[in-house]
Amino acid sequence: MSSSLTVSTNLNLQAHPVDEVGIRERVARLATRSIKKASKVEGLKLALSMVDLTTLEGADTPGKVRQLCTKAIHLHSGRKDLPMVAAVCVYPTMVRIAREALQGTPIQVAAVATAFPSGMNPLAVKLEDTRYAVAEGAHEIDMVISRGDFLRGDYARVANEIEQVKEACGKAHLKVILETGELGTLDRVRLASDIAMQSGADFIKTSTGKIQPAATPEVVLVMLQAISDFYRKTGKRIGMKPAGGIANAKAALNLLIMVREVLGPAWLTPSLFRIGASKLPNDMLMQLEKERTGVYQGLDYFSND
């Protein structure tokens, strides 16, 4: 394992221009898809199964994480037809707690690492952060790219870091957070996606959730198109994780529509698509209850965690 900087030689920085207005219009058109009745119920359940239920607070405690894990397993009391979420996402020090709480379930434990959320630490520290989380039992690592390096054009350094973190992950899956809210343009979102995928990302992820805007539909669409092109060229399926700012059930269904129409049904699985969220599941649950009972719901009837 090397911790020194080596220049990635295989980086292909071919320009893939993105037209912002065109992206907005495609997003708007995708949003006109009308999801009703059975399709809505099925879609919401599918989306719930893709949630990375997240708590990333300085105030997180074992108690809080255990509660979150309970919610991850039992999304809504009294409903047996609901899936479990795909994963819980926590800081590295909470990984062990989460693993214990989720024992015997298929729910994965994801840890943010690499000096999340800013990434403003030396590479060695980031790698150590990663190795620690993996050693604690994390199945998945959500790393952040060095936006400073990216924005000043040092793409080789960004790529190299990802490669090394990937190596440090061992068997754990790597999600690479681009923090698109700091990248400025959709062209840069596309470039960062390409770099991340070429450097070993299993997933690319929009945001830390600490910066606004986060997972806007425009950003998600651009990243999905990058994934599609990468698959076309390499035959390799990279996963996608929008995280941050996905406000409600409608937004979640819109994400599924996008995945379906840009990447195809093969990506409609938690192994290739995740939604990072903390409050979102309750809105989806309210919609599901509304479909079941025919009555519009209130948040008082759904547990927060």
Partner 1 sequence: MTETNISTKGSDWGYAPAPESADHFKLKEQYGLFIGGKFVPAGSGRRFATINPANEKTLAQIADAGEKDVDKAVKAARTAYEKVWRKMPGRERGKYLYRIARIIQERARELAVVESMDGGKPIRESRDVDIPLAAAHFFYHAGWADKLGYAFPGKSAGPIGVAGQIIPWNFPLLMVAWKVAPALACGNTVVLKPAETTPLTALLFAEICQEAGLPDGVFNCITGAGSTGAALVKHPGLDKVAFTGSTDVGKAIQKSLAGRSTKLTLELGGKAANIIFEDAAIDQAVEGIINGIFFNQGHVCCAGSRLLVQESVEQEVVEKLKARMEHLIVGDPLDKNTDIGAINSKAQCERIQDYLKVGQDEGAELFQTKCPVPEKGYWVRPSFFTKVAQSHRIVQEEIFGPVLAIQSFRTLDEALEKANNTPYGLSGGVWTDKGAKIFKVTRGIKAGVIWANTFNKFDPSSPFGGYKESGYGREGGRHGLRPYVELS
Partner 2 sequence: MSGSGENMKSGRLDVRKTYKMLIGGAFVRSESGRALDVNAPGGKWLGHVCRASRKDFRNAVVAARKAASGWANTTPYLKGQILYRAAEMLEGRATTFREVLQSIGLSPVAAKTEVTQAIDLLVYYAGWTDKYLQVFGSVNPVSSPYFNFSVTEPMGVVAYVSGEKRPLLDLVTGIAPIVAGGNTVITLSTGRAAVPAMELGEVLATSDFPHGVINLLCGVREELVGQMATHMDVNALVTQGADAKESAASREACALNLKRFFPREANGKGDEDPYRILDTVEIKTTWHPVGG
39: number of Cβ within 10 Å: 12
Give yes or no for residue 291 binding partner 1 (CB under 8 A).
no
Number of residues in contact with partner 2 under rule CB under 8 A: 7
Sequence-distant (6+) residues with CB within 8 A of 236 are 230
Side-chain half-sphere exposure of 182, counting CA atoms within 13 A? 21
Q: E strands of 244-303, at which residues? A: 275-277
Report the Cα–Cα distance between both ends of the chain, in Å, rounded: 40
Nearer to partner 2, 22 or 264 (CB): 22
Give yes or no for residue 24 binding partner 2 (CB under 8 A).
yes
Using CA atoms, how far apart are residues 199 and 176, in angstroms rounded to an integer?
10
Extract the tokens encoding 291.
Answer: 């479909």
Using CA atoms, how far apart are residues 24 and 231, in angstroms rounded to an integer?
23
Q: Which of 71, 166, 175, 205 is catalytic?
A: 205
Build a one-symbol-per-residue string for 61-100: x at contacts with partner 1 by CB under 8 A, - elsewhere.
Answer: -------------------------x--------------
Q: Which of 71, 126, 166, 241 is catalytic?
A: 241
**Catalytic status, residue 45:** no
Q: Which of 142, 194, 202, 283 is catalytic?
A: 142
Pick what 46 binds: partner 2, partner 1, none; C-beta below 5 to 8 Å, kind-dependent: partner 1
Using CA atoms, how far apart are residues 134 and 284, in angstroms rounded to an integer?
31
* Least distance between partner 2 and beta carbon 189 (Å): 11
Give yes or no for residue 280 binding partner 1 (CB under 8 A).
no
**Catalytic status, residue 80:** no
Using CA atoms, how far apart are residues 295 and 297, in angstroms rounded to an integer?
6
Query: Which of positions 43-102 make contact with partner 2 (CB under 8 A)?
Result: none
Pick what 24 binds: partner 1, partner 2, none; C-beta below 5 to 8 Å, kind-dependent: partner 2
Q: Amino acid identity, residue 178?
A: L
Give yes or no for residue 29 binding partner 2 (CB under 8 A).
no
* Least distance between partner 1 and beta carbon 37 (Å): 5
Give yes or no for residue 16 binding partner 2 (CB under 8 A).
no
CA distances from 170 to 119, 134, 149, 173, 200 (A): 20, 8, 25, 8, 12
Give yes or no for residue 28 binding partner 2 (CB under 8 A).
no
Using CA atoms, how far apart are residues 273 and 268, in angstroms rounded to an integer?
6
Sequence-distant (6+) residues with CB within 8 A of 8 are 156, 159, 160, 163, 198, 199
Determine which residue in the list 96, 126, 147, 173 makes contact with partner 1, applying CB under 8 A.
Answer: 173
Give yes or no for residue 15 binding partner 1 (CB under 8 A).
yes
Determine which residue in the list 5, 19, 233, 236 makes contact with partner 2, applying CB under 8 A.
Answer: 19
**Catalytic status, residue 142:** yes
Nearer to partner 1, 159 or 284 (CB): 284
* Least distance between partner 2 and beta carbon 150 (Å): 17
Q: Which residues on neighbouring strands pair with residue 90, listed in sequence order?
A: 111
Pick what 106 binds: partner 1, partner 2, none; C-beta below 5 to 8 Å, kind-dependent: partner 1
> Can you give the binding site for partner 2, defined by CB under 8 A?
19-22, 24, 185-186
> Which residues are catalytically annotated?
142, 205, 241
